[in-house]
Structure 1
Amino acid sequence: MDRQAYTDWAKRAGQALIAAAMTLAPHAGAAIPPLVVAVDTGTEMPMAAFSDNHLVDGFHKQLGEALAAKLGREARFLLLPRKRIAMALDAGQADVICLYLPSWLPGKFEWSKGFFPVAEVLLTDTSIPQPHKLQDIAGQPVATVLGYYYPELEKLGSGFVRDDGHSSSGNLRKIAAGRLHHAITQQSTLDYYLKVGEKLSLYPPLVIKSYKARCAVSPQARVRLDEVNKAIDLLIKDGSVSKIISTYQNRLK
């Protein structure tokens, strides 16, 4: 190969390398997408607290950040009304929503293993006889949250009389005001309210059910279900789930 031919070949080779580098550079340097976590804006502490349209505290924030970290991503929270969450997940606007159960969220979503302990309880004030089983409240109004499904009480049929409110704290205020005698809520919500809200005279809560909440994964998520389950396993193994719960409990002491 003469000098001129070699020069031409080297020039073409250099141009090809530059073109290849320009093609690959955006992919090689592309940032890993965030984990987009949907959060119901109707959720209250200790589950979530909001300020200026931002999630600032609560289980959803701590868990979302911990889960994203195990996946090697940053967490970004998409705040939505409850009725829009299933649509957002289905459209891929959010990757996951956690601390849910399949019966709460209609749609063809994949579900993680259960991992976050939750107790659902019936509260009754001490101005009336104490119920010892759900059948004891048949026919009596019960403070419930609009849009929530209560399968255990639905078994009472027409004996389950709902009095829907927009929040658990609002329902607890109804009991404090003497407007209702029964309410359904989560034990963690009750504990938080008793610390920061009005004083209540209640019987020991009647546990309706205990379960482990899960995460729903969008069919268009940028993370796979097996990756989410592996991340959850790591959160359990290193004590992160217990730490999130204990952090909240310590605040109430």
Structure 2
Amino acid sequence: MRLAMGALLSISLNVFAAETPLRFAVSDSWAMPLVQLDHGRPTQGILYDVMLSLATQVGAPAEFHVLPRSRVQIAMEHNEIDVRCYVAQSWLPNLPDNYLWSVPLWTQPDLLVSRPVPPTEVIPASLPRQTIGTVLGYSYPTLQPLFDANQLLRDDARNQELVLEKLLAGRNQYAVSNQWTLDWFNQRLLPDRQLRSVAVLQEQSLGCFVRNDPDVPAQRILRTLVRMKMSGEIDDIIRLYFGAKP
């Protein structure tokens, strides 16, 4: 009987451990193709697919916490989140030692974008004083000295898609966008209306970081991300949204 009870307890503990969710941070400022939010819940997108596959391979259900960007780091510090993805180490230079970084998973340039004029490349420092479409809470190191000098002014929107919508509607002459969102946005526009990049502001390697805690299988998560990157799975997920284009 004692052996039977011990076996039953072991099975119960294993089931409990298997059902402990892996909690992912989702910024409410993300837009497609990163994440589609429907009624406050992610339903598709490159990051959604990557995080869901990661959780499945680790053997835990995925739990998505949709938060304002300003709340994400606070949630991590309060142990409310286990994994945060699509983040650069340069954004968080003072990250505590109880977090572990993954290998770089994506490279995304920040672009200065305009409507289908002008046809030539733009030097941001040479622009006259005007508003630039930006995402609320995002930092733009290349443009920050120009914002500080009041040469350029931020016109914040809640997410990246709204920034491009405002640009298309003529609210600003220029806006900042990552490459993925620009390409996704342009897919629904006729060629003569598509927004175009006029300057590369910066390019950074992005990955995930994981809370290093006994309750989180941190090393298994990091090893799984390496396999997903090296096997080409992550690039295959990107191709699902852009066809053959990586």
Band of TM-score, shorter chain? 0.7 to 0.9
Q: Is the 8 A contact 1:130 1:203 kept in 2?
A: no
Residue 27 in structure 1 maps to residue 20 in structure 2: no
CA distance in structure 2 between the partners assigned to 1:98 and 1:53 by the alignment: 18
CA distance, structure 2, for counterparts of residue 171 and residue 142 of structure 1 = 9
Give yes or no for the alignment of 1:77 onto 2:64.
Answer: yes
State the distance in 2 between where 1:174 and 1:17 align: 67
Query: Is 1:184 aligned with 2:176?
Result: yes
- Residues 171 and 18 from structure 1, CA distance in 2 versus in 1: closer, same or farther, beyond 3 angstroms? closer
Deviation at 1:179, TM superposition (A): 2.1
**Which of 152, 176, 186 is the matching residue for 2:142?**
152
Worse overlay, 196-205 or 47-56 = 196-205
Alpha-carbon distance change, 226 to 138 in structure 1, aligned in 2, over 3 angstroms: farther
- Go from structure 1 to structure 2 and tell me whether the alpha carbon gap of 1:21 and 1:251 turns closer, same or farther (over 3 Å shift): same
From 131, 154, 171, the equivalent of 1:162 is 154
1:193-232 matched pairs, under 5 angstroms: 193-196=185-188, 200=193, 202-220=195-213, 222-232=215-225
1:61 to 48, 68, 88: 48
CA distance in 1, matches of 2:173, 2:233: 37
Q: Secondary structure at the match of 1:36?
A: strand
Q: 5 Å matches for 1:38-49?
A: 38-49=25-36
Size of the alignment, in residue pairs? 238
1:115 is displaced (CA, Å) by 1.2
Amino acid at match of 1:26: S
TM-score when scaled to structure 1?
A: 0.81
Q: Following the alignment from structure 1 to structure 2, what is the Cα–Cα distance between the partners of residues 36 and 232?
A: 16
Distance in 1, Cα, partners of 2:139 & 2:212:
24
Q: Structure 2: how far apart are the matches of 1:125 and 1:29? A: 54
* 1:202, distance to aligned residue in structure 2 (A): 4.3
For 1:236, the equivalent position in structure 2 comes to 229
C-alpha distance in structure 2 between counterparts of 1:181 and 1:221, whole Å: 50
The residue identity in structure 2 corresponding to 1:116 is W
Tell me by how many angstroms 1:244 deviates: 0.8
For the residues of structure 2 that align with 1:40 and 1:221, how far apart are their CA atoms? 25
Flag structure 2 segments of 5+ consecutive residues without an equivalent. Answer: none
Distance 2:178 2:214 in 1: 29
- The C-alpha deviation readout for 1:96-145, integer Å capped at 9, x for no partner, is 01111234457534322211221211112355574433323363321111
Gaps of 5+ in 1: 1-13
Aligned AA (1:110)? L
Give the secondary structure class of the aligned counterpart of 1:180.
coil
1:203–1:93 CA distance, 2 compared to 1 (3 A): closer
> Given the alignment of the two structures, is residue 171 of structure 1 paired with residue 163 of structure 2, yes or no?
yes
Contact 1:38 1:79 in 2 (8 A): yes
Of all paired residues, the percent bearing the same amino acid is 26
Structure 1 176/66 Cα, relative in aligned 2: closer, same or farther at 3 Å? Answer: same
TM-score by length of 2: 0.83
Seen in structure 2, the aligned counterparts of structure 1 residues 197 and 49 have a Cα distance that, compared at 3 Å, is farther
Distance in 1, Cα, partners of 2:5 & 2:163: 65
Question: Is the 8 Å Cα contact of residues 110 and 176 (structure 2) preserved in structure 1?
Answer: yes
| Structure 1 stretches of 4+ moved >6 Å | none
1:36–1:204 Cα change, 3 Å: closer
1:117 equivalenced with 2:117 (yes/no): no
